[in-house]
Amino acid sequence: MRYFTSVSDLGDLSEALRLAKEIKADRFKYDTLGRHKTLMMVFFNSSLRTRLSTQKAALNLGMNVIVLDVNAGAWKLETERGVIMDGDKPEHLLEAIPVMGCYCDIIGVRSFAGLTSREYDYGEVVLNNFIKYSGRPVFSMEAATGHPLQGFADIITIEEHKTKPRPKVVMSWAPHPRALPQAVPNSFAQWSLAAGYDLVITHPHGYELDERFTKGATIEYDREKAFEGADFVYAKNWSAYAGDNYGAILSKDRSWTVDSRTMALTNDAYFMHCLPVRRNMIVTDDVIESPRSLVIPETANREISATVVLKKMLESL
Ligand code: CP
């Protein structure tokens, strides 16, 4: 596997889930595969889970790891081609990327959406420049439109906890004080549909996601109806995708916060969120602290999803 940006890159999802189970049972099973190979993790944005879990995954496989925080210690990078570089950015991404490629075998990239231009964000300009110019296999550690390592970890977690072949999985928009990208909900929808779940997405009007990620899901604007009989509830905020509202906050309606009253409508559903989470905006303390909360198991499975992805990339070198 040379690139990992979406569920389709993994090939057979059932086989990937089988491999995830195998690695979870013995995460050092392939600990010589990455000997003398170097992973470079490039962060344009902050991270706790991705930084730790991906580094741990590389160590599980015997790799060396370099972590580069572009905004802390490296030269400021210009990303737009054609710009006259007379400002505060002394280096262009188009040189910096092949430079990074000189010092590693595989590159992971985190680069969030700017939320000012849908065309630029959904063109995945930064990630695609790494793919085009680094000369190395590249994987997404959350890019503008997707977070595939999170999507994979989320369905590993659902597979571990489901009690029926096709659970009802509800992804619910929830309020947040800042405008967030659509990357996590896009990937959760994409991976849930690929796994064959009965996916229901509920959100206020105006928060419709890109159909390329959600085609096959049921969109239910009546939140209480959506929650009825749910086996899993995945809460997440996202900003608007559609038209001129791209990147906008259209609602901060706190009645969309996931609480025990709405969870009582479900089939004793598990609660999920990718973290970091704003307590009592996205979800109440009692729900996230309840025995049905899977937020920590999801996080733990980030190590597993990253180990599977890196194993498959190492095998392609
Ligand atoms: N869920 C997730 O990717 O967390 P970080 O932003 O902390 O990496």
Alpha-carbon distance of 27 to 13, in angstroms, equals 19
Question: CA-based angle 22:36:34, to the nearest 5?
Answer: 10
Q: Give the pLDDT confidence score for residue 79 in this predicted structure.
A: 87
Give the orientation angle of helix 13-25 with respect to helix 148-161, to 10 degrees. 80
Please report, for residues 91, 196, 262, 301, the alpha-carbon distance to residue 271 in angstroms, rounded to integers and kept in the order given. Answer: 44, 19, 11, 15
Decide: residue 204, CB within 10 A, 0-12 exposed, 13-18 middle, 19+ buried: middle
Mutate to test the pocket of ligand 1, among 111, 112, 274 (most ligand atoms within 8 A of CB): 274
Whole-number Å distance, alpha carbon 283 to ligand 1 midpoint, is 17
Closest approach atom of ligand 1 to CA 50: 8
Token representation of residue 238: 């996202």
Whole-number Å distance, alpha carbon 184 to ligand 1 midpoint, is 10
Closest approach atom of ligand 1 to CA 274: 1
pTM of the model as a whole = 0.97
238: closest CA among 299, 172, 298, 284?
172
Alpha-carbon distance of 159 to 19, in angstroms, equals 13
Residue 274 CB less than 6 A away from ligand 1: yes
Largest CA distance in the chain: 60
Token representation of residue 84: 């006259």
Whole-number Å distance, alpha carbon 241 to ligand 1 midpoint, is 21
Whole-number Å distance, alpha carbon 85 to ligand 1 midpoint, is 32
Whole-number Å distance, alpha carbon 57 to ligand 1 midpoint, is 15
Alpha-carbon distance of 315 to 20, in angstroms, equals 16
**pLDDT tens, N- to C-terminus, the chain (317 residues):** 999 999 999 999 999 999 999 999 999 999 999 999 999 999 999 999 999 999 999 999 999 999 999 988 889 999 888 999 999 999 999 999 999 999 999 999 999 999 999 999 999 999 999 999 999 999 999 999 999 999 999 999 999 999 999 999 999 999 999 999 999 999 999 999 999 999 999 999 999 999 999 999 999 999 999 999 999 999 999 999 998 999 999 999 999 999 999 999 999 999 999 999 999 999 999 999 999 999 999 999 999 999 999 999 999 99
CA gyration radius, the chain = 19
Alpha-carbon distance of 62 to 293, in angstroms, equals 32
| pLDDT 10s digits, 174-189 | 999 999 999 999 999 9
Question: CA-based angle 4:274:40, to the nearest 5?
Answer: 40
| pLDDT 10s digits, 89-132 | 999 999 999 999 999 999 999 999 999 999 999 999 999 999 99
Q: Give the pLDDT confidence score for residue 73 in this predicted structure.
A: 82
Residue 275 CB less than 6 A away from ligand 1: yes
E strand or H helix at 51: helix 49-60
Alpha-carbon distance of 238 to 68, in angstroms, equals 27
Please report, for residues 54, 86, 93, the alpha-carbon distance to residue 83 in angstroms, rounded to integers and kept in the order given. Answer: 34, 9, 12
What's the mean pLDDT when you consider all of the chain?
97
Q: Give the pLDDT confidence score for residue 80 in this predicted structure.
A: 85
Residue 45 CB less than 6 A away from ligand 1: no
Q: Give the pLDDT confidence score for residue 71 in this predicted structure.
A: 87
